[in-house]
Amino acid sequence: MLKFNNSVNIRQIITFSTLTERPVLLENIRIFEQPQGVSQYEIKFMRLVEKISNGAKFEIGTNGTTVKYYPGIITNNEGMQFDFECGKDRNITYYLEYLIILALFGKTGLQVNLKGITNDNIDNSIDNLQNVCIPLLKKFGVDGEIKFKVNKRGFRPEAGGEVFVQIPFVKFLRSISFTEKGMIKRVRGVACGGKISPQILNDIISKVREILNDYLPDVWIYSDFCNKTKMGPSRGYGISLFAETNNGAYICAEDCYDENREKEENFNIGERVALQLLDEILYSGAVDSFSQTFMLNLMVLAEKKLNFVKLGRVTSYTIENIRIIRQFTGVTFKITKANKEKYDKLKEQLDEQKEMEEEQEQQEEEDNSDENQQEDQQNKEEDIPDPALMIFSCYGVGLQNMARVTF
Q: How do the pLDDT tens digits run along the chain, 407 residues long?
A: 899 998 889 999 999 999 999 999 999 999 888 888 999 999 999 999 999 999 999 999 988 899 999 999 999 999 999 999 999 999 999 999 999 999 999 999 999 999 999 999 999 999 999 999 899 999 999 988 899 999 999 999 999 999 999 999 999 999 999 988 899 999 999 999 999 999 999 999 999 999 999 999 999 999 999 998 999 999 999 999 999 999 999 999 999 998 888 877 778 999 999 999 999 999 999 999 999 999 999 999 999 999 999 998 898 999 999 999 999 999 999 998 886 555 556 556 656 766 776 777 676 555 554 544 444 444 444 444 456 789 999 999 999 987 654 54
The contacts of residue 17 (CB under 8 Å, 6+ apart) are 2, 23, 24, 69, 71, 328
Class of 2-170 per CATH? alpha beta
Supply the pTM of this predicted model.
0.87
Domain 184-281 has CATH 3.30.360.20: yes
* Per-residue pLDDT at 191: 96
The contacts of residue 71 (CB under 8 Å, 6+ apart) are 17, 18, 21, 22, 23, 53, 55, 56
* Per-residue pLDDT at 375: 45
**Per-domain residue ranges of the chain:** 2-170, 184-281
Q: Strand pairing of 219-226 and 250-256?
A: unpaired
